[in-house]
Amino acid sequence: MTFRTQFEKELEELKLSLIKMGDIVIKNIHEALKAFLDMNTELADEIIKKDKLVNECEYNIEKECMRIILREQPVARDLRLITSVLKMITDLERIGDHAADISKLTVFMEKTNQPFSAKQIVKMVDVSEEMIKLALESFVNQDQTLALEVIAKDDVVDDLFSEVRNLVADAIRNRNIDADYALYLMMVTKYLERIGDHAVNLAEWVLFSILGYHK
């Protein structure tokens, strides 16, 4: 096996590790919102514990990146790719933290007899999960078009956030929502909005790996 072939194999394994971390994070986001909407504290506790797995993924990938840099001494595009991985796992870890944060709110929040349904929140999760998937796909395939699509989708998440904020404000004025639940609901919505921001960061690091500059 030539030096280049071995190096490319290591890069492919690095990409697979990144995808695995992303899959865990996406699942945690999905289940975190389900736990909150259902007030399922048992599921929330499970997600909080699973955050350790996300942290382990970050640590292992970071260690592998540093090993490759020290041993292979990559330059140019190869170095940009590894640097992008190091940046992307930080954003994935923060997304994982937000999933855990939502789960902690579920644990702290007592069951309410007056739940408030907002379909926009579920849509925020769906769009955010899609953004993360597309960002990772764009990285693996080094697809600039997909990365730009992720960045554009952030406007959708921001618009949904504004819609939820207005709905909750109206519900408070009309006394159709419990005050504590309204506060927790807006905190959850803000975490989801931040998850969209981190997905944009992922896409911007993909562009860096391809184009050589960061916005």
Percentage above 90 pLDDT, the chain? 79
CA end-to-end distance (rounded Å), the chain: 38
pTM of the model: 0.93
User: How do residues 79-137 score in pLDDT, each as one tens digit?
Assistant: 999 999 999 999 999 999 999 999 999 998 866 656 677 899 999 999 999 999 999 99
Predicted local confidence at residue 197, as pLDDT = 98
Query: What number of other Cβ atoms are within 10 A of residue 113's Cβ?
Result: 6
Predicted local confidence at residue 1, as pLDDT = 53
Eight-state DSSP code of residue 212: S
Assigned CATH topology for domain 3-211: Methane Monooxygenase Hydroxylase; Chain G, domain 1 (1.20.58)
Predicted local confidence at residue 75, as pLDDT = 80
Q: Tell me if 116 sits within 8 A of 176, measured CB to CB.
A: yes
Predicted local confidence at residue 116, as pLDDT = 75
Determine the residue type at 7. F
User: How do residues 5-16 score in pLDDT, each as one tens digit?
Assistant: 787 888 899 999
